[in-house]
Structure 1
């Protein structure tokens, strides 16, 4: 559970940093996201999910080796 909370906090910190440094870019990205179809938006979500799971699997798998 503590690892989940750590990951959640890190994700929020990174997202907040991007919003703070590039507010115009974040707004433009949100406007472009509204123009996507539901299927396109869903595909992006699945791709992000898969990439996140892959990163976690790689880090957890190779963490004991390093």
Structure 2
């Protein structure tokens, strides 16, 4: 449970960092994502999840 909370906290830090460091770029990215069809968002989500799983496996082993 502690690892899960640490991971979620890190996600919050990274999300906040993007909003703090580059709010205009973040806004443009969100607008582009809103315009994208669902299939593109699903593929992007799958790609990000896969990269996260590979990174997690690499860090843990």
TM, length-normalised to structure 2: 0.95
Q: Which contiguous aligned blocks of 4+ residues in structure 1 show a shift greater than 6 angstroms?
A: none
Equivalent position of 1:48 in the other structure: 48
Q: Select the structure of larger CA radius of gyration.
A: 1
Counterpart position of 1:31? 31
What is aligned with 2:2? 2
Aligned-CA RMSD value: 0.6
TM-score (normalised: structure 1): 0.88
CA deviation after TM superposition for structure 1 residue 54, in Å: 0.5
